[in-house]
Structure 1
Amino acid sequence: MASPYNLAGHVAIVTGSTSGIGQALAHALAAEGVNIVLNGFGDAAAIEKDRAALEAKAGVKVLFHGADMTKPDEIAAMVAFAKDQLGRLDILVNNAGVQFVSPIEDFPIAKWDQIIAINLTSAFHAIRAAVPIMKAQGRGRIINIASAHGLVASPFKSAYVAAKHGIVGLTKTVALEGAEAGITANAICPGYVKTPLVEAQIADQAKARNMTPEQVMRDVILDAQPTKKFVEFDQLAGLMLYLASDLGASANGAALAIDGGWTAE
Structure 2
Amino acid sequence: MNLNGKVCIITGSASGIGKAIAERYVADGAKVAIADLRLDAAKATAEELTKNGKGEAIGVEMNVTDEAQVNAAVQQVVDHWGGVDVLVSNAGIQIVHKLENFPYDDWKKLLSIHLDGAFLTSKAVLPHMYKAGSGSVILMGSVHSKEASPLKSAYVTAKHGLLGLARVIAKEGAEHGVRANVICPGFVKTPLVEKQIPEQAKDLGITEEEVINDIMLGGTVDKEFTTVEDVAEIAHVFAAFPTNALTGQSMIVSHGWFME
TM-score (norm 1): 0.90
Describe the SS at the equivalent of 1:263: coil
Q: Give per-residue Cα distances to partners, 1:160-215, cap 9 Å, x unaligned.
A: 1111111010000100111121100000111101112223444666797456x5x5
Partner residue, 1:54: 49
Deviation at 1:235, TM superposition (A): 1.6
User: Of 144, 147, 161, which residue of structure 2 is paired with 1:149?
Assistant: 144
1:112 aligns with 2:115: no
Letter in 1 for 2:130: K
User: 1: distance between equivalents of 2:218 and 2:69?
Assistant: 39
User: 2: distance between equivalents of 1:120 and 1:227?
Assistant: 32
Letter in 2 for 1:222: L
Deviation at 1:78, TM superposition (A): 1.6
Deviation at 1:105, TM superposition (A): 1.8
User: 2: distance between equivalents of 1:59 and 1:246?
Assistant: 20
Structure 2 residue runs without a partner (length 5+): none
User: Of 207, 212, 216, which residue of structure 2 is paired with 1:217?
Assistant: 212
User: 2: distance between equivalents of 1:63 and 1:85?
Assistant: 9
Contact 2:64 2:120 survives alignment (8 Å): no
Structure 1 residues 235, 129: closer, same or farther in 2, change over 3 A? same
Letter in 1 for 2:183: I
1:88 aligns with 2:104: no
1:1-265 paired onto structure 2 within 5 Å:
5-42=1-38, 44=40, 46-202=41-197, 209-210=206-207, 213=209, 216-247=211-242, 249-264=244-259
**Which shifted more, 70-79 or 19-28?**
70-79
User: 1: distance between equivalents of 2:97 and 2:196?
Assistant: 15
Structure 1 residue runs without a partner (length 5+): none
Q: What fraction of aligned residue pairs are identical, expressed as a percent?
A: 37
How many residues align structurally? 258
Deviation at 1:143, TM superposition (A): 0.6
User: 1: distance between equivalents of 2:226 and 2:172?
Assistant: 31
User: 2: distance between equivalents of 1:216 and 1:131?
Assistant: 40
Structure 1 residues 210, 245: closer, same or farther in 2, change over 3 A? closer
TM-score (norm 2): 0.91
Q: Give per-residue Cα distances to partners, 1:116-148, cap 9 Å, x unaligned.
A: 110111111111111110011111000111011
User: 1: distance between equivalents of 2:121 and 2:198?
Assistant: 35
Structure 1 residues 135, 48: closer, same or farther in 2, change over 3 A? closer
Letter in 2 for 1:91: V
What is the Cα-based RMSD across aligned positions, in Å?
Answer: 2.1
Letter in 2 for 1:134: M
Letter in 1 for 2:25: L
User: 2: distance between equivalents of 1:210 and 1:110?
Assistant: 29
User: 2: distance between equivalents of 1:169 and 1:141?
Assistant: 16
User: 2: distance between equivalents of 1:127 and 1:204?
Assistant: 32
**Which shifted more, 14-23 or 220-229?**
220-229
Q: Give per-residue Cα distances to partners, 1:14-35, cap 9 Å, x unaligned.
A: 0010111111111111111101
User: 2: distance between equivalents of 1:154 and 1:202?
Assistant: 14
